Amino acid sequence: MLRMLDRFTEWLARWTGVGVMVLMGAATALVAVSVLLRYVFFTGIEWGEEATRYTMIWMGFLGMSLALRKGGHAGIEMFRAALPLPLRRVVTMIAVLGILFFFVVVIYQGFVLVGLVAEKESVVLPVSMAWFYLAIPVGMLLMFVQMLPIMIRAWQTGDIPRGSEIETRIV
């Protein structure tokens, strides 16, 4: 079961990474073209700044799940590491379940927010704001899924695996 979950989250991370790279390329190209047009041809793309901003927001929310998978988010280990293993396992699970609960709340509220802005259009782009706000629940859902194998390993070992530990277990 854990091996299947590892493979699924690895596949999900790979495609999330592809999405982030495509968004990064689009944002870079958009900024480069905007600068070129503004300073060489004295014109500009009206929607360039807004499209770049929303692209970066999507990159951030998608990239959070990749950072979580690699163990890239900040954590305070000193207190937990000093605890005996049985107590460390309980404290770790309380923390992980709290994080998962937070993700669920943000996913739910993110979808509520998407519903609230569905009728509103972007200032310059003729697109519903729901597409941009959708980054919140999608990013949190990806984080939730990436947290599941971490939670299982935390229960098994009493520790939260860090980046290289996660990668070696998948291979």
Task: Work out the average pLDDT over 153-171.
Answer: 60
- Cα radius of gyration (the chain): 20
Nearest alpha-carbon partner for 110 in 79, 74, 134: 134
pLDDT band, very low/low/confident/very high, at 162 (cuts 50, 70, 90): low
Four-CA torsion 58, 22, 166, 171, nearest 10 degrees: 150
For the ranges 93-97, 102-106, 130-134, the lowest mean pLDDT is seen at 93-97
Nearest to 19 by CA among 135, 165, 145, 150: 135
Q: What angle, rounded to 10 degrees, do the helices at 2-40 and 135-157 form? A: 140
Q: Are 16 and 145 within 8 A, CB to CB?
A: no
pLDDT (average), residues 73-87: 75
The span from the CA of 63 to the CA of 139, in Å, is 8
Q: Which residue has the higher pLDDT, 76 or 121?
A: 121
Report in angstroms the alpha-carbon separations of 122 from 21, 47, 57, 78: 24, 10, 14, 46
- What is the CA 31 to chain-centroid distance, rounded? 23
Token pair for 30: 């958009």
pTM of the model: 0.84
What would the two tokens of residue 87 be? 């107590």
> Which is nearest to 139 in space by CA: 16, 7, 6?
16
Domain locations in the chain as residue ranges: 2-170
Which has more confidence, 101 or 70?
101
Q: What are the backbone angles phi and psi of residue 56, rounded to the nearest 5°?
A: -65, -35
